[in-house]
A and B are shown apart, each in its own frame.
Chain A
Amino acid sequence: MKVTTSKRIEEIVLKVLMWLAMGIVFAFVFSVIWTIFSRGVKAMSWDMITKLPGGGFYIGKEGGFLNAIVGSLYIVGASTLIGLLISIPVVFYLNVYKSKSSRLAYVARLAFDVLFGMPSIVYGAFGFTIMIYFGLRTSLLGGIIVITLLIIPIFIRSMDEATRNFPRDILDASYALGATKWETLKVVVRQIAPGIATATLLSIGRAIGDAASVMFTAGYTDSIPTSLSQPAATLPLAVFFQLSSPIPEVQDRAYAAALVLTIIVLILSIGGRFITNRFSKNKL
């Protein structure tokens, strides 16, 4: 019996530790969300999200950060679109045209995993050198290019995961009817649409929150860009720059911008989870 109690005690101790660990995770989540919301809501006002920075904005006068919201939407919208156009064919190629043991598919997946792991600051630095090479200045276009490069690996990885579990029998059934691979894709698309949707939401979340890469490439401005060659402000940089100001009113705006950014990201994340859950329920 002594043996039994000693292993039982060990079991209980470990279980308590595990509960503790999960408690800490929850505590972190609540702490971050609470901090952002409690500070952000105080600083929030209608003007913040509907107005451009006015004169003397950076010493605490009138205005909002509509420039950053619109800038972020421009960059993320465009790069999501371009990103999808490039990633979807790649994912299909890897999953439909290449077999599971294909050498090329292996190297490609490895490459995308490595790109996925690259810090955004490296993307930023690289994007910057490219822009200099082509004689571009910090601009909307630069931001779009870099964010597109940044999210393609995210797109491909998450869509690849959704597609990989796709039953091969369905492909075979389609081939058996005499369809080419290209025609078979239409069957696949319908099946993995929810996976693509989730991947898109996740990638948008990553793209909209990334500051280090756009810092070099999109720059920052007080106005809404009207052409691709003008610089564009972004939400994460609005938070970052305004927070570094010593003036409390300006800092407050940073908190308000942080709140907006957090809400956007939360909606995207919850939306992604929701689709995943619906999707897997249908599959069962």
Chain B
Amino acid sequence: MAIEIQDLNVYIKDAHILKNLSVTIPEKQITCIIGPSGCGKSTLLRTLNRLIDSTDGVRLEGKVLVDGTDIISSGPEITELRRKIGLVSQRPCPLPMSIFDNVAYGCRINKMYKRHRDLENAVHENLRAVGLWDEVRGRVRTPAARLSIGQQQRLCLARSLAVEPQYILADEATSALDPISSKTVEDLFVSLKNNYTIIMVTHTLRQALRIADNVVFMYLGEIIESGPAQQVFKNPKQELTQKYLSGAFS
């Protein structure tokens, strides 16, 4: 269940965005991708679920093994891949429908349940898993857009969990939230790591320090250093990593 990236190169038009990335992302842990903005963190994330395909003039080279199958060349059914890899984006993005339908959306798309009863149970269970159930219990049929922004982000997480993914990608998932919601979501990720492999892009070092098991440090489209969080934070091997961690640039 690990993700193995081998010599991954991404080009958009003439620009070389990701350069020779090779890294293994261990399963059932939180891996944080850190680095200054514009270093390719988000591009990497979008490559992993192939959302990058919709970018104009994009070209991918190399291998990304998810469960042992290469998702770049062999091209497994892309929608199946995306179902396996959940995404929580930077700003919460509820679909234009009710809370219930938001969570049920993926289940319906993938026709996961035959009976409505089962679908209902699954929705409730996932709302519980993100701690939203008690807050929205009486109004699951109201538009999701009426929730607070922190609630919306948890709803998006519940929506991702509902399609039973094995991996979760989070793209600065707490950056748009207030400190308290941010903490709630962060704690959620920590509690989820027993069941999911989580890859998080973050630009706040402190967050990475708090929750990361593994760290990948990227700079200008390259991976400078990667490894267990303890090791990278305490004894960075590269000078660039040291400088970044010490706050010389961000």
Contacts and interface: CB of A to CB of B under 8 A. Distances in A.
Contacts of A6: 111
A7 B110 CA distance: 9
Nearest to A6: B111
B110 A3 contact: yes
B250 interface: no
Nearest to B80: A4
B118 to A, nearest CB: 15
What's the interface size class on B, roughly? under 10
A8 B77 contact: yes
A144 B78 CA distance: 60
Interface string B77-113: 1011000000000000000000000000000011100
Contacts of A8: 77, 79
Report which residue of A4, A6, A8 has the largest number of chain B beta carbons within 10 angstroms of its beta carbon: A4
Interface in B102-145: 109-111
A3 B77 CA distance: 12
Interface in B60-82: 77, 79-80
Contacts of B79: 4, 7-8
Nearest to B83: A4
A4 B83 CA distance: 11
Nearest to B77: A4
Interface in A1-17: 3-4, 6-8
A1 to B, nearest CB: 9
A2 to B, nearest CB: 8
Contacts of B111: 3, 6
B109 A7 contact: yes
Nearest to B112: A3
Nearest to A11: B79
A3 B79 CA distance: 11
Contacts of B109: 7
Nearest to B109: A7
B249 to A, nearest CB: 28
A281 to B, nearest CB: 14
Contacts of B80: 4
A144 B164 CA distance: 69
A8 B109 CA distance: 12
Nearest to B110: A3
A183 to B, nearest CB: 38
A262 to B, nearest CB: 34
A6 B111 CA distance: 10
Contacts of B110: 3
Contacts of A7: 79, 109
A8 B79 CA distance: 9
A45 to B, nearest CB: 48
B208 to A, nearest CB: 35
B119 to A, nearest CB: 14
A125 B92 CA distance: 54
B81 to A, nearest CB: 11
10 contacts: A3-B110, A3-B111, A4-B77, A4-B79, A4-B80, A6-B111, A7-B79, A7-B109, A8-B77, A8-B79
Interface of B: 77, 79-80, 109-111
Q: What are the 6 closest A-B residue pairs judged by CB atoms, nearest first?
A: A3-B111, A4-B77, A4-B80, A3-B110, A4-B79, A7-B79
